[in-house]
Amino acid sequence: MARDFLLPDIGEGLTEAEIVRWLVAEGDTVELDQSIVEIETDKALMEIPTPFAGVVVALGGPEGTVLDVGQVLVTIQTADEDAVAPSVSSSSSDRSEPAPIVGTLSEDAVDLTPRQARVSGTPDAPAARTLPIVRKLAKELGVDLHSIMGTGHEGQITRDDVRRAAGLEEDSEQSSEPEPVAEPEPVAGPEPVAGPEPVAPAEPVPASPTNSVEVSRSTVGGETVQVSKLRRTIAERVSASWREIPHVTTFGSADVTRLMASRTALKRRRNAPVSIDAMVVKAVVTALDRHRAMAARLDGETLEYPERIDIGVAVDTPDGLMIVVVEGPAVRDLVDLSAEISRLSEAARARSLPASAFGGQSFTVSNIGAVGGGYGTPIVPYGTTGILSVGRAAEKPVARAGRLEIAPMMPLSLSYDHRVIDGAEGRRFLATVIENLEEPTLFLA
C-alpha cells in the first residue's frame, strides 16, 4: 500500500522547509525511523526520519524544492499494515508503549488512533506522531509525553510543546514573533558618520506554484546560483528591521591596555582560553544593569523588560552571518563564558545548533574586529533595541597628562532603536561600556 508522508510540523514557528539533500532515492528500501532527507528551515538544518518501512515510490521534489508543512514529502510502498508504526489504542490496558508515528500521514494511511488521543495524551496513552528529535528533547528535559497536549499539525507534539511543559518556552503569542536570525556585515569606514547609509531592500521572492528552485536566484560571476533558505531569511529580517526601526549609530573608542593585561593574567592563572568576545559581553552585561531600556523590547505601546539578560553574539559562518544566544552570561565566569561562545560559534558554522539557540536575545554584540573591521553601522536585529559592533584594537596616539603615548584603542559602534533610546541615553550607555572595558575590575568584581 502506498502511503504519503507529509512534511511534519516540528514547532519553532515552522511553516515551510527547503529540501537540501535526499538521503534516499526512488526504489530504495527504508526502515522505520531511518533518516531519509535533510531539510533547512529558517534557522537550522535537520534530518527527517520516515514514519514507516517500505520502498520509496516517489520523492516530494528535487533538492532545492520548498515545501509547506502538510505537503507530501515522500511516498513509500509498505509491504503490509505491520510496516506502519502502530497508533495508540485506548482500549488496551496491558499494552507496551507503541513506537510513535513520525510526522503526519495522509488520509489513505491507516490510523486507528481516536481523534482525542491524537490531540492530547492521557496517563495511559501518550499523544502519537512524535518526531524522534522531539522524543529526545522530552527525555533530556524530563518531560512526560503522556501529559502534553500537542499544538502541531493534527495534534502532533512539537518541540515548543515540550519546552513549554518544561517551563522553558514563552507563551505562543510571544513565540510567534519574528526571531532575529542574522544581521548584515557592518560597513567599516575610515571616518565615523552620523548614521547608516540607506540600503536597498531585498528583492521580493516571486511566487511559484511549484515551489521549485526558481523561487529565488542570484547571478554571481556569470553563473546562476540558488539563494539559500538562510540567506533569504536574513534578507527578510534585515529588511523588516530597516523598515520598522529608526536607527541611530554612535561611535566611541576604549583604551584596552588594562583589558589586555587582565586577559593575559587570567589565561595564565586559569590555564584556559579567555576570549575578547567574552570580556566584551561581560562589560556589556554590566552596563545593561545600569541602562535597562537598552535591553528592553518595544511591543506597541509597552516596553518589555527581560527577566534575565541573554546576549546574542554574531558569528561569521560559510552560510551567512548568524546570531547565537548565550544564556545567562552574568552568572558565568570568563573561562566558562569563553568556552560557551566558542561552542556555539563552532556549532553554528557546522549548522548543528537547534533553532532554539537563535533569537530571543536581550542585546547583541558583533565582533567585526575578528575580520579586521574598525567602525561600522550595524543594523539592530529585529525585535531588539540595540547592537554593539566591536572593531579590531590598534595602537593609536593618546594624550595623557599632557604627554603623548601609544595605546591599544578599540573602536566601538553602537546602533539602537531611536523609538526607545534617546541620543543622550545612547551616549551614556556607550560611555559605561567604555568605562568597563578600560577598567575591567568593574565587571570582574
188 within some domain: no
**The model scores a pTM over 0.85:** no
CATH no. for residue 267? Answer: 3.30.559.10
Low-confidence ranges of the chain (pLDDT < 70): 10-14, 42-43, 80-133, 136, 152-154, 168-221
> Do 11 and 149 belong to one domain?
yes
Among 20, 24, 25, 17, CA closest to 67: 17
pLDDT of residue 43: 64
Give the end of a domain, one of 175, 204, 237.
175
CATH no. for residue 108? Answer: 2.40.50.100
Give the end of a domain, one of 175, 205, 224.
175
- Neighbouring CB atoms inside 10 A of 404's CB total 8
> Do 261 and 366 belong to one domain?
yes
Q: Which helix (H) or strand (E) holds 163?
A: helix 159-165
> Do 437 and 303 belong to one domain?
yes
Among 164, 321, 153, CA closest to 234: 321
> Do 150 and 256 belong to one domain?
no
pLDDT of residue 82: 44
pLDDT of residue 176: 38
3-state secondary structure of 322: strand
Distance CA 409, CA 436 (A): 14
Provide the residue range defining the domain that includes 163. 2-175
> Do 163 and 252 belong to one domain?
no
Give the end of a domain, one of 135, 150, 175.
175
Residues 333-342 pLDDT 10s: 999 999 999 9
Distance CA 334, CA 424 (A): 31
pLDDT of residue 45: 75
Among 70, 190, 88, 165, CA closest to 129: 88
209 within some domain: no
Q: Per the residue annotation, which of 146, 247, 291, 418 is the catalytic one?
A: 418
190 within some domain: no
291 an active-site residue? no
